[in-house]
Amino acid sequence: MSISLYAQTYQTWQNDPEAFWEEAAQELHWYKPWDKVLDTSNAPFYRWFTGATTNTCYNCVDKHVEEGRGEQAAIIYDSPVTNTVQTYTYAQLQHEVALFAGVLTAQGTKKGDRVVIYMPMIPQTAIAMLACARIGAIHSVVFGGFAAEELAKRIDDAEPTLILSASHGIEPNRNVAYKPLLDKAVQLAKHKPDACVIYRRKGLEIDLIEGQDIDWQTALSTAEPQDCVPVAATDPLYILYTSGTTGQPKGVVRDNGGHMVALKWSMKNVYDAKPGDVYWAASDVGWVVGHSYIVYAPLLNGNTTILYEGKPVGTPDAGAFWRVIEQHKVQTLFTAPTAFRVIKKEDSEGKLLKGYDISSLKALFLAGERADPDTLHWAENLLKVPVIDHWWQTETSWPQVANCMGMGLLDIKAGSPSKAVPGFDVQVLAEDGNPVAAGETGALVIKLPLPPGCLTTLWKNDQRFIESYLSEFPGFYATGDAGYIDADGYVYVMSRLDDVMNVAGHRLSTGGMEEVIASHPAVAECAVIGKKCAIKGHQPVGLAVLKTGVDIDDDELQAQIVALIREKIGPVASFKTLKVVQRLPKTRSGKILRATLRKIADGEDFAIPPTIDDPAIIDEIRQVFS
């Protein structure tokens, strides 16, 4: 039997990981080569390509112009919510990015300074990210669906000298005014930026605050274009905050060198994307999918990337994706399964597809949450292209398990994102740290060192990095997911081990929502669980025990708490349900049995935990969910 290209490549990596990544690094431009491919001197803080200098923006933009791709489309901004399609060639992108880098430097931003970006899905957001990379500033993009308090937490942690924002974002049913949210966040934050540069979009008039705000266009009109600044391969490119188990988000730090090498390698080998192909990740730049596969990876690979400001349905209908594929001749589509579940709900027979020619499409990649077999098969039948589930996280920045299309597709097993990608030694460990047998469920872990591209630490918090990821299973990175690996090496990702849930492909902290609910004066204690949802994967449900003597109508309390979560965390939390209960199921030591609550909410069978302090409570909770 001949060995597959995937198996060969995996073996080549295993035999000599450093040689493997050194070869991959040849595809990129370095001002100075590395002294070491993998630096283990400060393990477990492994570093890739130490001693090298490079510039991510140069590799994403200028290099392609110099190599003759100047006239090719780099970014196509497709915005059904504003009725706009606008193309930036690589040459135009170079001009815009260099000029905006001039806005940053005119404000005194320099290498190593942080720049928070709180912006909608418009080209200026990608331009701003690249401009930061160009001058070695560290960007931290905050998703627009987060409220002022969440933004303030990120401002206090990242301590930016500058914040970039816009007048508003556009959701299908409303404008989301960013400026008041930004102003409130700046007011709430202890750290104050030197200035805020604001992009004014048509459709909402805003006032700028004297002494704080600078108009984006005015600043551009006097800006001097800036060249790329060499940075160390190990210097941070960005910080991206992701939900942990508490309300305090974790600032994932990404480097320049390893990140470029991994993403560039993934475009050819995982996605089978050739330079010049049109690649579309239908996500948001505020998430890691947007960082990696809307902005950096397609540009590093010389692709045309689509920046889509719209939804899978409602902008205007469930045929929106097919329209974009036809219009821009998209070859690769990447989105979250939830997007296909909403399309399926609105147009279960795929009638809207009939009006479009999607023959350019080669594959659909799904990630962000478990791809349920029903949705996967529905998409396969409709699109008649391989539908490829793959598993990764904000922390890794690129897929750790995938069916690597660029190395020839393996058999697809629905329900599994397939096998470990070269670079990742994925294993399943029991609670005691021992490996489990094939097919047995345990903690999904990755053997250290992590490959290039993965987080190097948490911003200003090495200790939390160790505690969150490296302490539980020494020598391994704990992904926080549970699952199993079958006898053929296929990985199955089944659930989270921590109190993080996945709502419409967005990772949210149940702990963060509990903190908000607990702050309501009527609430004595509470729990939030992710209940299964046919469309969004999970939906948050809160359970609250009221303080003795409090008299408030359940519906009124629910309305107040929904509003409170929207105000404190943001609409992205999708929090709609609060149930008042007499008490919560707990262990004798007082720990809330969240896993049991989840099973009751989902109507699943379960064994009553032997540690429960009062088994009678189970029936009470069952009643609440009946």
Question: What is the binding site for ligand AMP (CB under 6 A)?
Answer: 242, 288, 367-371, 389-394, 417, 479-481, 493, 496, 502, 507
- Report in angstroms how near the CB of residue 128 gets to ligand COA at its nearest: 16
- Report in angstroms how near the CB of residue 183 gets to ligand COA at its nearest: 16
Q: By C-beta, is 151 or 592 nearer to ligand COA?
A: 151
The listed partner (ligand AMP, ligand COA, none) that binds 169, CB under 5 to 8 Å by sort, is: ligand COA
Q: By C-beta, is 287 or 477 nearer to ligand COA?
A: 287
Q: By C-beta, is 69 or 536 nearer to ligand AMP?
A: 536
Alpha-helix residue ranges (DSSP H) falling in 384-422: none
- DSSP 3-state of 62: helix
Q: Helix 373-383 and helix 337-346: axis angle, to 10°? A: 70
Q: Is 611 exposed, middle or buried (0-12, 13-18, 19+ CB in 10 A)?
A: exposed
Q: By C-beta, is 129 or 367 nearer to ligand AMP?
A: 367
CA distance 508 to 506: 6
The listed partner (ligand COA, ligand AMP, none) that binds 283, CB under 5 to 8 Å by sort, is: ligand COA
- Report in angstroms how near the CB of residue 578 gets to ligand AMP at its nearest: 24
The listed partner (ligand COA, ligand AMP, none) that binds 335, CB under 5 to 8 Å by sort, is: ligand COA
- Report in angstroms how near the CB of residue 467 gets to ligand COA at its nearest: 26
The listed partner (ligand AMP, ligand COA, none) that binds 370, CB under 5 to 8 Å by sort, is: ligand AMP
Q: Are 305 and 290 in contact (CB under 8 A)?
A: no
- Matching residue, tokens 């190593």: 112
The listed partner (ligand AMP, ligand COA, none) that binds 473, CB under 5 to 8 Å by sort, is: none
Closest listed residue to residue 586, CA positions, set 526, 517, 512, 516:
526
Q: By C-beta, is 64 or 370 nearer to ligand AMP?
A: 370
- Report in angstroms how near the CB of residue 244 gets to ligand AMP at its nearest: 11
What are the DSSP calls for 545-596, one per residue? EEPTT----HHHHHHHHHHHHHHHT-GGG---EEEEES---BBTTS-B-HHH
Burial 310-338 (b: 16+ CB within 10 A, else e): bbbbbbeebbbbbbbbbebebbbbbbbbb
The listed partner (ligand COA, ligand AMP, none) that binds 481, CB under 5 to 8 Å by sort, is: ligand AMP
- Report in angstroms how near the CB of residue 582 gets to ligand AMP at its nearest: 32
Q: By C-beta, is 24 or 578 nearer to ligand COA?
A: 578
* Residue 438, amino acid: A
- Report in angstroms how near the CB of residue 386 gets to ligand COA at its nearest: 19
Q: By C-beta, is 113 or 369 nearer to ligand COA?
A: 369
The listed partner (ligand AMP, ligand COA, none) that binds 176, CB under 5 to 8 Å by sort, is: ligand COA
Q: Which two structure tokens, joined as six digits, stand for 94? A: 């170079």
Q: Are 267 and 299 in contact (CB under 8 A)?
A: no
Backbone φ and ψ of 447, nearest 5°: -70, 140
What are the DSSP calls for 133-189, one per residue? HHHT-EEEE--TTS-HHHHHHHHHHH--SEEEEESEEEETTEEEEHHHHHHHHHHH-
Q: By C-beta, is 335 or 479 nearer to ligand AMP?
A: 479
- DSSP 3-state of 259: helix
- Report in angstroms how near the CB of residue 353 gets to ligand COA at its nearest: 18
- DSSP 3-state of 6: helix
CA 19 to chain centre: 30
- Report in angstroms how near the CB of residue 117 gets to ligand AMP at its nearest: 18
Backbone φ and ψ of 612, nearest 5°: -65, 140
CA distance 365 to 380: 11
Q: Are 166 and 144 in contact (CB under 8 A)?
A: no
The listed partner (ligand COA, ligand AMP, none) that binds 272, CB under 5 to 8 Å by sort, is: none
- Report in angstroms how near the CB of residue 64 gets to ligand COA at its nearest: 26
CA distance 84 to 63: 28
Determine which helix (DSSP H) or strand (DSSP E) holds 99, and give its type and residue range. helix 90-106
Q: By C-beta, is 169 or 530 nearer to ligand COA?
A: 169
The listed partner (ligand COA, ligand AMP, none) that binds 457, CB under 5 to 8 Å by sort, is: none
What Cα–Cα distance (Å) separates residue 551 from each residue in 487, 521, 557, 569? 57, 11, 10, 26
Q: By C-beta, is 59 or 396 nearer to ligand COA?
A: 396
The listed partner (ligand COA, ligand AMP, none) that binds 257, CB under 5 to 8 Å by sort, is: none
DSSP character at residue 40:
-
- Report in angstroms how near the CB of residue 343 gets to ligand COA at its nearest: 9
The listed partner (ligand COA, ligand AMP, none) that binds 539, CB under 5 to 8 Å by sort, is: none
The listed partner (ligand AMP, ligand COA, none) that binds 284, CB under 5 to 8 Å by sort, is: ligand COA
The listed partner (ligand AMP, ligand COA, none) that binds 571, CB under 5 to 8 Å by sort, is: ligand COA
- Report in angstroms how near the CB of residue 328 gets to ligand AMP at its nearest: 25
The listed partner (ligand COA, ligand AMP, none) that binds 145, CB under 5 to 8 Å by sort, is: ligand COA
Q: By C-beta, is 65 or 81 nearer to ligand COA?
A: 81
Q: By C-beta, is 283 or 468 nearer to ligand COA?
A: 283
CA distance 227 to 563: 46
- Report in angstroms how near the CB of residue 490 gets to ligand AMP at its nearest: 12
Q: By C-beta, is 506 or 586 nearer to ligand COA?
A: 506
44: preceding bond cis by omega (within 30 degrees): yes
Backbone φ and ψ of 556, nearest 5°: -65, -45
Q: By C-beta, is 533 or 545 nearer to ligand AMP?
A: 533
Q: By C-beta, is 88 or 365 nearer to ligand AMP?
A: 365
- Report in angstroms how near the CB of residue 76 gets to ligand AMP at its nearest: 24
Q: Give the interface with ligand COA as residue ranges (CB under 6 A).
A: 144-145, 169, 171, 176, 282-284, 287, 289, 311-312, 335-336, 338-339, 342, 368, 503-506, 571-572, 574
The listed partner (ligand AMP, ligand COA, none) that binds 480, CB under 5 to 8 Å by sort, is: ligand AMP
What Cα–Cα distance (Å) separates residue 129 from each residue in 29, 75, 274, 452? 19, 14, 24, 20
Strands (E), 213-299: 213-215, 231-232, 236-242, 250-255, 278-281
Determine which helix (DSSP H) or strand (DSSP E) holds 385, and give its type and residue range. none
- Report in angstroms how near the CB of residue 395 gets to ligand AMP at its nearest: 7
